[in-house]
Amino acid sequence: MFSGFRHPLIQTLLLLAASLMAHADEYDIAQSQQLRWQFSVAAGYGQYGSMLFDEKASNLVVMPRWSLYYQRFYLENLDVGFNLVETEHFSVDLSGKQNFDALSVRYASSEDSLIKSIAFNNVKVPISWNTELSEVLNLKKRHLSYLAGISSYFRTDNVEIRSEWHTDISGVHNGHEWNTLVRYQYQLHGLDLAPTFGIRRLDQHFANYYFGLANSETSDLLLNQPGPMWLPSVKLDASYEVLDNLRVMASLKREWYPTRVTKSWFIGTRQHDIWFVGLMYRW
């Protein structure tokens, strides 16, 4: 999956990070104080939705979260970044991020979903009498991909606008993603609320890989290539500080897909939900 790290963009990112580490001893104490890290664990209950036909969501019970900031470099779980421009209101970073679209469409039972959907939707599949449906289907597993690109942030006191463009560097689908998010943050005593509105644009390679049905997967019978798509989303993060390092927190996110993805018969819904409610302890 990560064989594509020969990609020039990630090479640049890694070289910049290595250069930063190599010169660390040249900086004085004031700069070493810029090292910040945080580790949190959230325990509770939530679900990571599945878009497969007649497939249940996965349960979420424990969610780790870590971050590390050192000078211009940062790590946020599986996302990495190297800052190019940083002002009070504006930032530009080279960034890499893990893409999780595969998780919503790649259960072990995804081919079962396709067969059930074909039956349920009474899809006409022209196969001969002595051929099993499963013999003409060869649904491939959708792999996770890692993306690299550029992220920009504009922020005021309570509002943050993030716009980022990333391309696949893992050689999984070779697609691009453009993502824009607007987040408002409201704080009152110990309560934090942060609604986020987003829109994501997937190019045809990206969208077809995860949400399409290729000729080779259905013996040329059920081709569906949904093509480039816009995916609006809403997210609400809420937390309340119970103790110094302990918060009650909840996160809910819904993303909408175009109707045409459901013509890839293994997909049964055009919306994807993730939610989690629990306690978060922070070190």
Partner 1 sequence: MVIMNRGVILAMLMLCATVEATQFEILPKFCLIGEKDTCDTTLQIQWHAESSACLINETTKEILRCAPTEYAYRITLHSKETVRFSLIDQSSQKVLATREFKVLQHQPQALQERRLAWSIFR
Which stretches of the chain bind partner 1, using CB under 8 A? 30-31, 34-36, 38, 40, 42, 63, 65, 67, 69-72, 74, 76-77, 79, 81, 83, 86, 91, 93, 97, 151, 153, 155, 185, 192, 194, 235, 237, 239, 247, 249, 251, 253, 274, 276, 280, 282
Least distance in Å: CB of 42 to partner 1?
5
Q: How far is the CB of 187 from partner 1 (least distance, A)?
A: 11
Q: Mapping DSSP to helix (H, G, I), strand (E, B) and coil, where does residue 244 land?
A: coil
Shortest distance, position 18 Cβ to partner 1, whole Å:
18
User: How many other CB atoms sit within 10 Å of the CB of residue 226?
Assistant: 22
CA dist 255 and 273 (Å) reads: 7
Structure-block tokens of residue 56: 């249940």
Query: CB–CB of 243/213 below 8 Å?
Result: no
Closest to partner 1 by CB, 63 vs 182, is: 63
Pick 182 or 194: Cβ nearer partner 1: 194
**Number of CB atoms found within 10 A of residue 65's CB:** 13
For partner 1, which is the closer residue by CB, 54 or 281? Answer: 281
Rank residues 12 and 38 by Cβ distance to partner 1 and give the closer one. Answer: 38
CB of 280 to partner 1, least distance (A): 6
Two structure tokens written together for 74: 């940062």
8 A C-beta contact, residue 273 and residue 49: yes
Tokens of 267: 């997909």
CB of 100 to partner 1, least distance (A): 8
Closer CB to partner 1, 54 or 192, in the complex = 192
Q: Helices (H) and strands (E) in the chain — how many of each?
A: 5, 13
CA distances from 199 to 51, 234, 270 (A): 18, 9, 15
